[in-house]
Structure 1
């Protein structure tokens, strides 16, 4: 199948509400430069970062939860630093951190033998020309992503996969599961007691499976209506969001929520316990008594940058059927606004898939 000059996709025209997502049928197909590949995108999925980047929630000017600006954005104050990197985004931007597709063209220095490969793309990438200590570029934020029929990535970030899962199922893995696996490897989780917040979402439900893979005893923080689904994923116990958290009970806490009950999470750690976070959907501003940190020998970890092995490990888990996709719904790419509205309703477990092309 040849590569056309134009493609269809959804572009983000600026930080703001759903009206900033614009369906286009006249986008120019990008060309791979040296060391890059062109991917024909078959499927993508929706992530919190799609919403947060659209609204500008990553800006230091924003202090509220991720839902507070989901409909209308956070105003012009978020324009200056409303991206993962803190560098202003240029628009239009093609979002989409999850990508499953096939290599349709290769740039100079990339073997033509890779043409036709079925690939998953690293959602969190490490630009090799960056001078940062922990370089990071997120697909669909710092670079154009998978909400279009074609996208260009560095060849090293397109990882061949052999699996009988569908493209749509595979597209639910990259961002959420690599975030969860990055947290788990960073905190060194073993056969211990772990509490996972935001457990019904993409990253949280991924963390349940990945923690169980390592022999952990998993307690999932969720709503009563989702307890059965999370038990089916491997959760050993559940807690309601309004429940009293058991004091000094967990070796590790994997937190995606933050917000007003953050101190309750810290009190739920055993002395010497470890806390790791890669999200703050209930709010990013918390208060910590440093005496609690040092007198109880706690370890607090933030986790965004991913060593290269995180994603290749994840692909191996998928190929070995050690983890499975959780697809709660499917939308066409041109219905991305409706998909984000369904995502924001939070009435599902797992991921919402986006069908991009046949």
Structure 2
């Protein structure tokens, strides 16, 4: 079969579109013939070796949707031809509050979805929501699950709450906007692009601010009136501003740090405001099922920025690196 394989680190150029042996499903496993896969920033980081537990060579890709092609022994409730979407989180464990030590994600160390076929445990596949196209279904798993857990489980968002989502345009941030808006929250966003802010408003955001403005924090605070929940995948020097923008008793939920470590952190600003700072990443199988149900209930569709063929995965990764995308980047496989 054709697959996108990473042999060594050094960036997207180290990725190869090549022939590999098609996997055979074992006990309790299914083989999925993939229709589409989608990119996550995790994939880009892996090409540079910026991820814990590096194990190469490996087929990249966490997200995918397709058709059950074959099933191993002891697989029940699934048949050849079933249309499915894959939960890329493996071995979450029994504790819903956090993942188990052996939790991992498809696409390294386990071979992932940048391929014509992928082998996964049967419990990791779910029925594809009928209203979604193959591209849309493939765009959901990792980012939507991360956003759902951040908003619903860790953020405990209630109807009428005010939410701030910095760095709008990426997959998780956009899903967080869609989930929060469907939940009945007032959503505010930030970006360095006025165009992205305008598009976010079209999707339901109540307001937004360009963080290149010298007074963006004060301007946003005046417009927003403080946030009950902040969903942050940025980190870096701006984190102190997020603490300022949170309402007393508010929650700051962190799922990433694309801007790097927080250089200065003044603790009194946290404890005098009675803030909760909560970490989150991915989610449990139960949350994945709940997320799909929530999406179906509200007919949430992913925003897809651009599609590439599987053989052009290097170009897709380079495009992601440019940080111009608004929404998910998808690979066409079939």
Settle same-fold status: TM greater than 0.5.
yes
Q: Which residue of 2 aligns with 1:74?
A: none
Equivalenced residues, count: 321
Aligned partner of 1:35 among 22, 25, 28: 28
CA contact 2:168–2:196 (8 Å) conserved in 1: no
Runs of 4+ in 1 over 6 A off after TM superposition: none
Q: Which residue of 1 aligns with 2:48?
A: 55
User: Any stretches of 5+ residues in structure 2 without a counterpart?
Assistant: none
- Stretch deviating more after TM superposition (288-297 or 257-266): 288-297
CA contact 1:106–1:112 (8 Å) conserved in 2: no
User: Any stretches of 5+ residues in structure 1 without a counterpart?
Assistant: 1-6, 58-81
For the residues of structure 2 that align with 1:344 and 1:314, how far apart are their CA atoms? Answer: 28
Partner of 2:189, secondary structure, is strand
Aligned partner of 2:162 among 171, 193, 199: 193
Q: Does 1:115 align with 2:85?
A: no
Q: Which residue of 2 aligns with 1:10?
A: 4
Aligned partner of 1:124 among 89, 92, 99: 89
Q: Which residue of 1 aligns with 2:62?
A: 97
Deviation at 1:298, TM superposition (A): 0.6
Q: Which residue of 2 aligns with 1:267?
A: 244
For the residues of structure 2 that align with 1:169 and 1:141, how far apart are their CA atoms? Answer: 23
Partner of 2:248, secondary structure, is strand
Q: Does 1:236 align with 2:206?
A: yes
Q: Does 1:172 align with 2:139?
A: yes
For the residues of structure 2 that align with 1:128 and 1:183, how far apart are their CA atoms? Answer: 19
Aligned partner of 2:270 among 293, 296, 311: 293
Summarize the Cα distance change of 1:315–1:289 in structure 2 as closer, same or farther, 3 Å threshold: same
For the residues of structure 1 that align with 2:176 and 2:233, how far apart are their CA atoms? Answer: 10
Alignment of 1:1-358 (within 5 A): 7-25=1-19, 27-57=20-50, 82-83=51-52, 87=53, 89-111=54-76, 113-127=78-92, 134-135=99-100, 136-185=103-152, 186-191=154-159, 192-222=161-191, 223-243=193-213, 244-246=216-218, 247=221, 249-357=226-334
Deviation at 1:213, TM superposition (A): 1.1
Partner of 2:169, secondary structure, is coil
CA contact 2:67–2:83 (8 Å) conserved in 1: yes
CA contact 1:161–1:319 (8 Å) conserved in 2: no
- Stretch deviating more after TM superposition (289-298 or 274-283): 289-298
